[in-house]
Amino acid sequence: GQNIDQPTEMTATEGAIVQINCTYQTSGFNGLFWYQQHAGEAPTFLSYNVLDGLEEKGRFSSFLSRSKGYSYLLLKELQMKDSASYLCAVVDSNYQLIWGAGTKLIIKP
């Protein structure tokens, strides 16, 4: 079967750095997405990785290792507004999008 694993919940402090991990076992790989979803709102696109390595976009960075079936989302200089769920999703060999359950990130002052 196809599986995406993320921690259910993480807590971090305002101003700090947090890394949210995602491991996957899928039938093939054609890219990995990270989406942010604030409570009661729509998911919004953060990043897309298809090649190994780190992609930086402001305070957010996303890393991919295809050989390890592993990605992480790195959030720097955390702000209270970063409190949200972060969804990892993998595109499989049939170009179907497989979603993880998301990681709820709680930011404390």
Partner 1 sequence: DTAVSQTPKYLVTQMGNDKSIKCEQNLGHDTMYWYKQDSKKFLKIMFSYNNKELIINETVPNRFSPKSPDKAHLNLHINSLELGDSAVYFCASSQGGLSGANVLTFGAGSRLTVL
Structure tokens at 95: 């170009």
CA 41 – CA 58 distance, rounded (Å): 22
Q: How far apart are CA 84 and CA 91, in angstroms?
A: 23
Residue from 17, 54, 101, 106 that binds partner 1 (CB under 8 A)?
101
87 touches partner 1 by CB under 8 A: yes
Interface residue with partner 1 among 2, 11, 19, 44 (CB under 8 A) is 44
Kindly state whether residue 102 participates in binding partner 1, applying the rule CB under 8 A.
yes
Interface with partner 1 by CB under 8 A: which range of 11-19, 40-48, 54-62, 63-71? 40-48
Q: Which of 21, 23, 30, 61 binds partner 1 (CB under 8 A)?
A: 30
Please compute, for residue 78, the number of CA atoms within 13 A of its CA located in the half-sphere on the CB side.
Answer: 23
In this structure, are residues 70 and 56 in contact, taking their beta carbons and an 8 Å threshold?
A: no
Which member of 43, 63, 73, 82 binds partner 1 (CB under 8 A)?
43
Q: How far is CA 54 from CA 5, 8, 17, 45, 109, in A?
A: 20, 23, 16, 17, 28
Binders of partner 1: how many residues, by CB under 8 A?
A: 23
Residues at the contact surface with partner 1, assessed by CB under 8 A: 30-31, 33, 35, 40-45, 48, 50, 85, 87, 89, 91-92, 95-97, 99, 101-102
